[in-house]
Amino acid sequence: MTTVGILGGGQLARMMALAGAPLGLRFLLLDNVSDACAGQFAPMLVGDYRDEGILAEFARKVDVATFDFENVPAESAHWLSAKVSVFPSPNALAVSQDRLAEKNLFRRLGIDVPDFRDITSFDALQDAIAAIGLPCILKTRRLGYDGKGQYRIKAHADIEAAWQALGAQAQTVGLILEAFVPFEREISVLAVRGRDGEFRHWALTENWHEQGVLSASLSPATDSAAFEAEAVGYARRVAEELDYVGVFALELFLHGGRLMANEMAPRVHNSGHWTIEGAETSQFQNHLRAVLGLPLGSTRSVGVSCMLNWIGTMPDPAAVLNESGGHWHDYGKTFREGRKVGHATVREDGSAALAASLSRVGKALQREAQVAPVLSRL
């Protein structure tokens, strides 16, 4: 029986393990905390990702290794790849870990991006703001996710505060300044590439965030025919350039008719959770198929789906489960402010039925504000 090793034991690893069970797969996790939620479903080693002793034990016990988050130290992934096959490759992981390297890759591939500058000092920040203009966003080059490691600079009076908040990291994880994009829509391309180079993608997904954290996703994205081919083409270019194996998401802004790349996530992605019920093959199973060299499954959508994230605490599931297309996912996590603790997907055969279902769910849970932007698209 094949054992898949997953570096990281969060909800993505948990859903990957659940998706792999029908394939007869076993899993071994490695995480640096003992209560990681995927450990409820698979055996787990606990230790530092840089500890070569525990990495060696992990490598001995698995047939292939993958990730459930991108901030595994790249040097650990490289070390591990000498012992066991690792997908996606450590090189792909390293590029996606560094916002500057990622933006340079996009630009080299002819993918439009917001203007950006590498920031190494306070003087460099001031010069970059003079060139890029306001508003803009100062970000850490590494380790930022879900809105963390960012400071929006709206006026010159904010510059000092932004540097006080993040400046110390200029010499550790690095900083990048990006132009603020007043986008009309935020779109993600969820795609998978196999070991043999086969490339498939799911329907485009539109996303809405609250305070930097994903709140809701709708797929297929409405009125997307005009830019779908361009968006998918961008994802294909990135995958082929990195010789990528597995599932990834390319996040894009739509502004004034232009698609601009925001970032790439080298893993299964929150905006693809709808695929569990809303696609012929979920992102989680297709990721496993890809890293194992198995034939990829169809990415065809099954109806229309909306995913709602639960942040900090879980609402009562009854409102979702009362819907014929309602599906509930509790990650088994301790509740904490700002933490992703679960999600629900509501799937229906058509947009009108989905709108009616979402309206009922939003009203019952007193979450009308969360479903409102999705309803405006249906």
**pLDDT tens digits for range 82-139:** 999 999 999 999 999 999 999 999 999 999 999 999 999 999 999 999 999 999 999 9
* 50 pLDDT tier (thresholds 50, 70, 90): very high
What's residue 188's pLDDT?
98
pLDDT at 192: 98
- Pairing mode of beta strands 3-7, 26-31: parallel
Superfamily for the 115-179 domain: ATP-grasp fold, A domain (3.30.1490.20)
CATH number of 3-86: 3.40.50.20
Mean pLDDT in residue range 200-223? 96
pLDDT at 185 over 80: yes
Summary mean pLDDT of the chain: 96
Query: What does the pLDDT read at residue 144?
Result: 67
Structure confidence by residue, pLDDT tens digits, 280-315: 999 999 999 999 999 999 999 999 999 999 999 999
The residue type found at 76 is S
Model confidence pLDDT, tens digit, residues 368-378? 999 999 999 99
**330 to each of 15, 53, 194, 213, 261, how far by Cα in Å?**
11, 33, 30, 18, 31
pLDDT of amino acid 212: 86
Q: So what's the pLDDT on residue 156?
A: 93
pLDDT at 145: 64
pLDDT at 329: 98
Total length of the chain: 378
State the pTM of this model: 0.96
Segments making up each domain of the chain, as ranges: 3-86, 115-179, 185-375
Cis, peptide link before residue 43, omega less than 30° from 0: no
What is the per-residue DSSP string for 89-126? -HHHHHHHH-HHHHHHHHHHTT-----EEEE-SHHHHH
Asked whether 236 and 199 are in contact (CB, 8 A), the reply is: yes
**pLDDT category, 59, cuts 50, 70, 90?**
very high
Bridge partners of residue 347, in order along the sequence: 305
The pLDDT of 229-250, averaged and rounded, is: 98
Residue closest to 232 by CA, chosen among 328, 299, 317, 144:
299
CATH number 3.40.50.920 given to 185-375: no
Indicate if the pLDDT at residue 21 is higher than 80.
yes
